[in-house]
Amino acid sequence: MPQVEILIGGRPFELACQPGEERFLQKAASLLDAEASVIASQIGRMPEGRMLLMAGLMLADKTVHLEERLREAEARLSYLEQENASLPRTVEVPVEVPVEVRIEIPTIPIEVRQLFADVATEAEALSRAVESMSADQDVNQTA
């Protein structure tokens, strides 16, 4: 069984641990030592048992606070997971799709176009004839 020497509040301690747990024990001891060092700097030298008790209580206070924060975070996570579960899994996104519109204008046959041109020419000739007759009547009436 491995033996690990740790320092707590400047005092050495030798502890036995399971193989592979040495790093964990060193980390835990460094947390306890940090608290003991704060106590020693504020209060000064005190009995070993009292120093360890106070350092342990300070760590316990931090642990309680962290556990409360963890419970709050877990509750928030649970709430967000429920909110997430109620959200739709698909979202419809409107997309403009270009649409080609073809309007076919019927082509007028050339014979019909020629007929319209002939009718227009004849209508113009008739219009000139009517104007000419109207002008002749006006001249005859004033004479």
- In tens, the pLDDT along 106-142 reads 888 889 889 989 999 999 999 898 888 877 776 666 6
Q: Which ranges in the chain belong to alpha helices (H)?
A: 22-43, 48-86, 110-142
Assigned domain for 117 exists: yes
Q: How many distinct structural domains can be found in the chain?
A: 2
Residues 68 and 122 in one domain: no
Residues 74, 88, 97: CA angle, nearest 5 degrees: 140
Residues 28 and 68 in one domain: yes
Evaluate if pTM is beyond 0.85. no
Residues 17 and 62 in one domain: yes
User: What residue numbers bound the domain in which 79 lies?
Assistant: 3-84
- pLDDT, residue 61, reads 94
The residue out of 44, 68, 84 marking a domain boundary is: 84
Assigned domain for 98 exists: no
Give the three-class secondary structure for 10: coil
Assigned domain for 14 exists: yes
